[in-house]
Every structure is written in C-alpha cells, then in structure tokens.
C-alpha cells in the first residue's frame, strides 16, 4: 500500500461513523428490529455488532502498534449476537461507543509513522501474519459493508410491510 493509499483508507475509516449516522437517519424506527430471515441480522443487531467490532478493532490496532508478533483474539460474531442478546442491548449506547471509539482510533492512526503499518500479529482466523495494512483494509470497509446490509434490510422491510 502506498502512503497515499494509506491516507485514503484512514480517511475512509474516519468517515465511517458519519456514513452510518446518515444511513440510520433514513431508517424508519419500525424497521430496526426487522429480520429479513431468521438467520440474518436486524438493523438493531447490526448496530450492536458494529460497536462490539469497533471495540475489538481498536484493541487490535493498538496491539499491532505496540506488540507486534503478539496474538490477537478472534471471536464468532454470530455467537456474540445470539449469546449477548443483541436485541436487548441499547442501540443508542452502541452508537456512542462506535462514534467515540472510531474517532479516537482515527485521530490516533493519523499520528502513526508509516513503519507501524508493516507490523504483524498472529490472528487465529488467518494462516498468514495479520498486518496493520490488513487491519486498515478490513476496518476502512467494515461500516460501509454494513451500510449496504442496512439498506438492503430497509428495502426488504418496505416490500413486506
């Protein structure tokens, strides 16, 4: 990844919460807990997942910077959604977690020297080393990918109401 590409990815990462907030502003309240199928997530569950993911992502980024060659934790997002009762959690609190965790990490990422992005750790879900650049590629697109999922849920909800 070139320095320019890295800057673009960091900016995309930094825009994530505002993109999410804009999308959610268009979401009818009645659609929040609608599940397109029993095994797919509702928008409410997506919001809670994003908060959990952001918390894990922030920790992973810091591990990559401070403890290269260490091991980071994996987790099964579907088990978390089921076992942690995502529908019973407060979506507004989750949005605040997402907003401030992402903002703090974004501001911090902008201060890092480029050599930090070559750091790698062990990740239980990957055979190859998990690099900081991999992290940036994943998390710069994480919220935009879920925005597509949210928009799809709204479309299906509108068709079925």
64, 121 Cβ separation under 8 angstroms? yes
Mean pLDDT of 60-72: 94
Q: For the chain, which residues make up each domain, given as ranges?
A: 3-160
pLDDT value, residue 107: 98
Q: What is the C-alpha separation between 148 and 151, in angstroms, rounded?
A: 5
pLDDT value, residue 99: 98
Q: pLDDT tens, 77-86? A: 999 999 999 9
pLDDT value, residue 128: 93
pLDDT value, residue 98: 98
Answer whether residue 88 shows pLDDT above 90: yes
Q: Which two tokens stand for residue 36?
A: 């397109």
Answer whether residue 161 shows pLDDT above 90: no
Answer whether residue 1 shows pLDDT above 90: no
pLDDT value, residue 55: 96
pLDDT value, residue 68: 93
Computed on alpha carbons and rounded to an integer, the radius of gyration of the chain in Å comes to 17
Q: State what percent of residues in the chain have pLDDT above 90.
A: 96
Three-state SS for 53-68 is HHHHHHHHHHHHHHCC
131, 118 Cβ separation under 8 angstroms? yes
Q: Domain 3-160 belongs to what topology?
A: 1.20.120
Q: What is the C-alpha separation between 83 and 28, in angstroms, rounded?
A: 27
DSSP output for 77-115: HHHHHHHTTGGGS-HHHHHHHHHHHHHHHHHHHTTS-GG
Mean pLDDT of 16-31: 96
Q: Considering the entire predicted model, what is its pTM?
A: 0.94
Q: pLDDT tens, 131-153? A: 999 999 999 999 999 999 999 99
């Amino acid at each position: 990844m070139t320095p320019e590409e890295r800057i673009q990815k960091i900016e995309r990462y930094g825009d994530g919460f505002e993109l999410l907030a804009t999308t959610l502003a268009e979401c009818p309240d009645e659609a929040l807990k609608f599940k397109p199928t029993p095994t797919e997530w509702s928008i409410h569950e997506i919001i809670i997942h994003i908060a959990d993911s952001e918390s894990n992502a922030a920790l992973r980024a810091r591990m990559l910077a401070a403890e290269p060659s260490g091991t980071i934790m994996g987790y099964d997002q579907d088990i978390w959604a089921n076992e942690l009762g995502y529908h019973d959690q407060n979506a507004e609190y989750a949005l605040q977690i997402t907003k401030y965790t992402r903002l703090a990490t974004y501001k911090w990422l902008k201060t890092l020297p480029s050599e930090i992005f070559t750091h790698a750790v062990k990740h239980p879900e990957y055979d190859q080393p998990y690099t900081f650049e991999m992290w940036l590629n994943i998390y710069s697109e994480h919220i935009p990918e879920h925005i597509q999922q949210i928009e799809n849920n709204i479309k299906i909800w509108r068709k079925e109401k």
